[in-house]
Structure 1
Amino acid sequence: MKIKILMLLSIFFSITSFAQTGSISGTVVDATTQEPLTGTNIVIRGTNTGVTTDENGNYSLKNLQPEAYVIDVFYIGYENASQDVIVTEGANINLNFSLNQSSSIMDEVVLSANRRPQKVTRAPATIAIIGSEEISKYAGNIGELASRQKGVDFVRSGVQGTGINIRGFNSAFNSKNLQVEDARISTLVATGLPFGSFTTITKDDIERVEIILGPNAALYGPNAHNGLVATLTKDPRTSEGTDIAIAAGNQDVFSARLRHAMKVGDKFAFKVWGEQTQGEEFDYVDSVYVGTTAYPELELDRKFETTKYGAAAYYGLSDNTDIITSYGHSNNSNLGVTNAGRNQIKDWSIDYIQAKLVSPHFYANLYHTWSKTEDTYAINQRTQNYVSFINNGFSEQEALQRSFTEQFFPIDGAPNGGISLPRGSVFKDASRRFNAEAQYNNNLGAFSYVLGAQYQQDNADSKNTYLLDADGAIVINQTGIYGQLEYTFEDADIDLLFVGRYDDHELYGGNFIPKAAIVKNYDFGSFRATYGKGIAAPSILNLSGNLFGGLVLGNGEGFTLENGTVVAPLKVETINSYEIGYKGKIAGDKLLLDVNAYYNQSEDFLSPLINISATSPVATRGDTPIGELIPGSTGAFVLTYLNFGSVDTYGADLGLNYYFNDKHRVSFNYSYFDFDLDENDLANDANKDGVVTKTDLPINTPKNKMGLGYYYSSDKFYGSVYGRYVEQYDFFSGINIAAETQDLNGDGTNDIFENARNGRTWNYGPLGDFVNIDLNVGYHITKDLAVGATITNLFDSEVREFVASPTIGRLFQIELKYHLPIGVLRK
């Protein structure tokens, strides 16, 4: 009855909307200490209208139409609060809140599922959250924190190299999980790979990381296929002060970080940040096979180094409208794993500049990202090139010099005993990306809606080193429009969500992406059922690649072979996902459950590189003969990508958290994954050898994995012990094999051999089959000075977590952090 009366009043006040507006203001404090809670989210339910409290806990919602509202108050670590309020003509309503502390994950707030603040239990998706407090209390590589999240496949390829996968189909070149940083798509332009360690963000500036399991492309666009990783940074107005951190560990790791944030007057605030990190990878040299002979990687450099810096400015145009501008830079040198070996990455830099307009009903986002490298190269190809010259009598100096661009092939009777062909190993990059987005949201009676449009222009420029860009950068435009409609049945407390998106891409065409969800809410938790479609779009490398002198060609235009055979151009890979879940309390207030089960239908996978047989210089890519496209090419051997097959995958994720009290907590996570593949359907034969095997559709995911953790936190001490188990599993990605000895096609002869050479690489055996124990401890020496230590793989067990990567031993790191409050600086 109360809600109906409020709705009638809302309609009445809407009719009289020409009346003078009103406002709501007040203060949010800790119920026990009465200290102001800076950075509390004050949101008008069902809208994107909201503000955050200042350093004194004050907030103000102005220019409100006379209407009935429900005000929701969210602050991480505290219980949520809500209040019904009626704004009348010209009224200035004072509304204060006192929040009680809570360690319950049910009170957390998420932003990414619907692109607006909402209680995590109402979110129509399975979401794992890594918050700023957890990050600040972890002394090591924060990528490791992803390993503690349910449903996430975590891998480590070295000291610095960490990566995640979600719900299957991992590879050494995985672009199926979209990475977003402060609403910026943060992937490399040509390859579509997430930035990972290339990110321009520093640890101390991260407010939270939200990992959405399953497709979420309807709001975020292509490549939010298996999941979305959204990183949000801190607002300088609610995180003032100077943070200084110094960290050191084994493998010669040293890191220094600085962040400063400050308000200047009532309208302006800024923040600056910087980081320098360096170290050395584990002692591991991969084998490069030329024929059946193994050679060590040429001139391997195991040192890594990262430099980051940036700044952001926040300007308040009004009490509820902000302009936010920012710039960030990173420069990176390290070893990178690919499906064709490893890359020696040298001085690969990422830069961006961004401007956002944020208001209650309108949002606009404009940003430009660019990358640059001159000296990065493929170690495998360069080593093969070098060996070809040495084995044919060339001097060491000449072999080293020519190994970056050529490979020598002996031919009897030819001048110099053979011929050199272009097989460039160097990857140059001067690519740029331009993005723009506009979004409008409002209410229409009991409905809330969002309308948006996105534009992206990719300018991929490899300086003719690994793309078909001899005539200049490859420019590709894509646009997307989307709409979201939400409705809440107040009496039943049921939320309905419908989202539709249409994307149009110059090369692979248009795609419609829908999503729907229903969430039933109770005081103790919520049940949800969702459907979502996702697409994994071919990268520019897949579409327009030109590697190693035409040996690999992208398939963006299709091929017509000399015998008339037509090879279709690439289209997107699709997934249709169905999920049910529950998040809430069980057996009282201390035990919290987060569980889901899902079923996915995937089709049109991107194949591994396939040799197009019977090619010749007169065979065409699109309308261009290969001999004309690649001058000097014989066309006798061309590798490209195809679409193929379908598979059904299914699984479940379970998360339990038990709170003994405010100081002690234990967690347990378990994930199960499996699949159904029709081995009698030759459409699933990726390598076109006439037999369907599991290497045709490499799942590359453990069937079972679990984790158990204990967490302690007090005013002075904090720490955690976390154990992770990963079941043994086979991994196939390009030339990389990590699998047990087995007969793949059932002909009675083994095709894969463990601890032996398999094709062009050495197979060390399956991944997984380990239990890792990690320890993290810390102590607040004073309120603003803390020391912490993290040990990964506490018992130094030999674990190989990824292909083309070393055995991961014990890693330890000690970190000293100091926070200088803004009040001290102002004095």
Structure 2
Amino acid sequence: MTRSTLTKFFGLSLFAFLAFAAPTAAQQTISGQVVDAANNQPIAGAQVSVVGSSEGTLSDARGNFSVNVPSGRYSIAIQFIGFETQRIDGVQAGANISISLTSTAIALAPVSVTVNRNRGQRSLAAPAMVNVVDPEMIEKIAAPTPIEYVKGMPGVDVVQTGLTQSNTVARGFNNVFSGALLVLTDNRYARVPSLNLNAYNILATTPLDVQSVEVLLGPAAALYGPNSASGVMHIITKSPFDEQGTTLSMAGGGRRILQGVARQAWANDDQTVGFKVSGQYFRGDDFTYSDPAEQAAAAANPGTVIGQRNTEAERYTVEARMDFRPWDNPDDDIIFTYGLSELINSVEMTGIGAAQAQNWKYQFVQARLRKGSLFAQVFWNGSDAGNTYMLRTGNPIVDESSLFAAQLQYDLTLGDRIDAVVGYDYSKTNPVTGRTITGRNEDIDQTTEMGAYLQTTTRLSDRLDFVAALRADDHEHLEDPVFSPRAAFVFTPADGHTLRATYNRAFSTPGTNGLFLDIVAGRIPILPTVGYNIRASGVGTTGFTFNNTCTGGVNNYCMYSPFAPGTQLPATGTVLWDNVLVPLVLADPTLLATLPLLGLTPQSFAAIIGNPGASDLTSYLLRFNTGDLAFDPEPGTSSVARLQPGITNTYELGYNGLIGGKLRFSASGYVTRINNFTGPLRVETPSVFLDGSSVAAFLVGRMTAVGIPLSYASQIAQGIAT
């Protein structure tokens, strides 16, 4: 895909025309000074050029320069070896400008605000592995979603499931609904509230708003709390103060892809109030796939929406932001942001088959404050699934869930050698699913979480720092608080080179699905009006057991049957023989035609084969295999314990360095051990089957006992048993 940017050029064209029409206009001067952005020292010998002309000069020993130009507006380019080239547009003849050049070494080691949670630190000196996608790289990519910026990044695994759909993890296991990577947008949790889902195609942030993307690899719970066991991806957006004016972007490509993005930013003259609004529209023909389970269900339910996939992907996003800088320090500000995104149409993968997303909306409201060492924010994320439904069952999906969060952080200095960060987090998740996702658990599925943390950085010497952190979290549905320690030594043997040895302990809390999921995932038909529902359930706050006993059942287990809804029965087919199986047998036209030849009526035959004894029929257990949709031998039932927080312990050695000030090199070696890992959905409950050979033997014995010839009895029994 290609990308083009439309900027204002009327003024430039007009002045150029006037200059051409009046070649004798008086010459004027553009002057200024070139300095190093790192220390404000003058740069001598920098090349200053007027773009589109032969005019140019070099800066003197004090960094000063002067170049003669006719009246008008110009673009000035400044270059110097070891520094990034800078271009300034719209410079008026006669102006005096100040130019700060950034060292390429600094550009290769940008400041990260993620590694120490909103507290800037050079990525080279960070006590963790952090990668930053800078504005220059972002400008080159026409990205439908922010995930395009991190593809190919070391330690990041991206699985594309559609034009805009993907699953992304860092140093972890990738699967559908993977929430192991904590995704933030301007310090706000960006996932869909109750589903704990990172749906990147529903983020409201547009490509023209993205300033940078930072990815912190490895556990980060000591500062960020739960669900950051594999790392943090932080999408940072542009302030309206930093980039003003109107910007448009258009992109297109194969599969009828069309994308349009627009951004308008404004700030007042004294730079105390800024406002921006942006929007994005995307459409394209997504990839097609035929799900056998969908097609089987569609054949059994003609005329329904089951299996009716619409692969036209379409979405839009809108975001508005207002910044206030009421204080003298430009780093102190108050920011309000609102975002809205809608999946007009999309096919979304889930752990129980695909869903047809239609008019699924996601929106947020955020307010944040930075004042000196204080950072505070509150935000609300909301979801509305619109007309979404499951493609295997046709069942609607209602998701009107929301998340409210409040966070507070303060930076302080303790003496000459210790810097500290202390903070508190609060969040409340409120799933509202109309009983379509959490079913019978709808009234008990809210979750409140609270956490507090402290991190210190101690300068043991000019070259060695020690980082220590501890966080405590309380989850409403966990028995005990969870503690997340962190420790790191960071050694700087020379400028631009760091070695680190770290230990991190992180945790992942059970999400709404893991605790309260209660949804029909599929159906196995037996008769046109009778069948088995396959129900996907969360473990709840107590877990599951097979402690109930029913005498006469296999291993004294109990069972439920669609033929006796809501009734607990012994786990054996014998209990359903007379009321269910015999009527099914007598519905066979071939058998009904055979009975008169033997001098029997349906009623007399039912009496012959009815009322089996407890030992006449043998039952056994099989477990459904969701992979091949077949039943496999039961390996043995066991209780399912209540969910525990997943604990990740990671030991890591790493190096960051700049070679010759031109090449950044990073290397990490780590060992991770995960306890209480929560995997995808799996079948835990077996099904009860009658043994065909025991059924045949029972029928033959009953029929021959009343004088039916063995040959006839065997044929009838074999037909029924199979």
Q: How does the TM-score come out when normalised to structure 1?
A: 0.56
Q: What is aligned with 2:447?
A: 476
Question: Can you list the C-alpha shifts for 1:355-389, whole angstroms capped at 9, x where unaligned?
Answer: 11101111110011100013212212x2xxxxxxx
Please tell me whether the aligned partners of residues 105 and 662 of structure 2 are also in contact (alpha carbons under 8 angstroms). Answer: no
Q: What is aligned with 1:343?
A: 355
State yes or no: 1:572 paired with 2:577.
Answer: no
Q: How does the TM-score come out when normalised to structure 2?
A: 0.64
Amino acid in the other structure paired with 1:212? L
Larger fraction in helix:
2
Distance 2:299 2:390 in 1: 17
Distance 1:278 1:457 in 2: 34
Residues 167-316 of structure 1 aligned to structure 2 (within 5 Å)? 167-266=171-270, 267-288=272-293, 298-316=307-325
Q: What is aligned with 1:102?
A: 104
Structure 1, 236-245 or 102-111: larger mean CA deviation: 102-111
Alignment length (residue pairs): 492
Distance 2:313 2:658 in 1: 45
Equivalent position SS for 2:650: strand
Structure 1, 505-514 or 314-323: larger mean CA deviation: 314-323
Residues 549-628 of structure 1 aligned to structure 2 (within 5 Å)? 551-557=535-541, 558-563=543-548, 567-586=640-659, 588-613=660-685
Rate the CA distance shift 1:473–1:612 in 2: closer, same or farther, 3 A. closer
Q: What is aligned with 2:113?
A: 111
Please tell me whether the aligned partners of residues 110 and 122 of structure 2 are also in contact (alpha carbons under 8 angstroms). Answer: yes
Equivalent position SS for 1:301: coil
Residues 256-655 of structure 1 aligned to structure 2 (within 5 Å)? 256-266=260-270, 267-288=272-293, 298-320=307-329, 321-332=332-343, 333-380=345-392, 382=393, 404=394, 425-445=395-415, 446-468=417-439, 472=443, 474-491=445-462, 493-509=463-479, 510-521=481-492, 522-548=494-520, 551-557=535-541, 558-563=543-548, 567-586=640-659, 588-613=660-685
Distance 2:180 2:452 in 1: 21
Rate the CA distance shift 1:473–1:234 in 2: closer, same or farther, 3 A. farther
Structure 1, 465-474 or 434-443: larger mean CA deviation: 465-474
Larger fraction in strand:
1
Please tell me whether the aligned partners of residues 463 and 470 of structure 1 are also in contact (alpha carbons under 8 angstroms). Answer: no
Rate the CA distance shift 1:308–1:289 in 2: closer, same or farther, 3 A. closer
Distance 1:34 1:475 in 2: 62
Distance 1:327 1:613 in 2: 45
Distance 2:640 2:288 in 1: 44
Which of 123, 139, 144 is 1:120 aligned to?
123
Task: State the identity as a percent.
Answer: 29
Equivalent position SS for 1:133: helix
- 1:132, distance to aligned residue in structure 2 (A): 1.7
Rate the CA distance shift 1:500–1:279 in 2: closer, same or farther, 3 A. same
- 1:563, distance to aligned residue in structure 2 (A): 2.9
Please tell me whether the aligned partners of residues 562 and 614 of structure 1 are also in contact (alpha carbons under 8 angstroms). Answer: no
Answer with 1 or 2: which has the greater Rg.
2
Distance 2:661 2:410 in 1: 39
- 1:562, distance to aligned residue in structure 2 (A): 4.3
Question: Can you list the C-alpha shifts for 1:649-672, whole angstroms capped at 9, x where unaligned?
Answer: xxxxxxxxxxxxxxxxxxxxxxxx
Amino acid in the other structure paired with 1:302? T
Q: What is aligned with 2:134?
A: 131
Rate the CA distance shift 1:29–1:198 in 2: closer, same or farther, 3 A. farther
Q: What is aligned with 2:168?
A: 164
Amino acid in the other structure paired with 2:319? G
- 1:195, distance to aligned residue in structure 2 (A): 2.9
Amino acid in the other structure paired with 2:341? S
Distance 1:327 1:482 in 2: 28
Question: Can you list the C-alpha shifts for 1:374-416, whole angstroms capped at 9, x where unaligned?
Answer: 3212212x2xxxxxxxxxxxxxxxxxxxxx3xxxxxxxxxxxx
Rate the CA distance shift 1:241–1:464 in 2: closer, same or farther, 3 A. same
- 1:471, distance to aligned residue in structure 2 (A): 5.8
Rate the CA distance shift 1:298–1:117 in 2: closer, same or farther, 3 A. same
Q: CA RMSD in A?
A: 2.9
Equivalent position SS for 1:288: helix
Question: Can you list the C-alpha shifts for 1:754-777, whole angstroms capped at 9, x where unaligned?
Answer: xxxxxxxxxxxxxxxxxxxxxxxx
- 1:284, distance to aligned residue in structure 2 (A): 3.0
Q: Give the gaps of 5 or more residues in structure 2.
A: 1-36, 50-81, 85-97, 521-532, 550-637, 690-722
Equivalent position SS for 1:318: coil
Equivalent position SS for 1:335: strand
Rate the CA distance shift 1:28–1:280 in 2: closer, same or farther, 3 A. farther
- 1:220, distance to aligned residue in structure 2 (A): 1.0
Residues 646-665 of structure 1 aligned to structure 2 (within 5 Å)? none
Rate the CA distance shift 1:358–1:251 in 2: closer, same or farther, 3 A. same
Rate the CA distance shift 1:379–1:29 in 2: closer, same or farther, 3 A. farther
Rate the CA distance shift 1:560–1:520 in 2: closer, same or farther, 3 A. same
Distance 2:324 2:658 in 1: 41
Please tell me whether the aligned partners of residues 167 and 175 of structure 2 are also in contact (alpha carbons under 8 angstroms). Answer: no
Equivalent position SS for 1:542: helix
Distance 1:540 1:248 in 2: 38
Q: Whose RCO is larger (CA < 8 A, sep 6+)?
A: 1
Rate the CA distance shift 1:27–1:590 in 2: closer, same or farther, 3 A. closer
Equivalent position SS for 1:173: coil
Please tell me whether the aligned partners of residues 214 and 227 of structure 1 are also in contact (alpha carbons under 8 angstroms). Answer: yes
Q: Give the gaps of 5 or more residues in structure 1.
A: 1-24, 36-76, 80-95, 383-403, 405-424, 616-635, 638-827
Rate the CA distance shift 1:532–1:327 in 2: closer, same or farther, 3 A. same
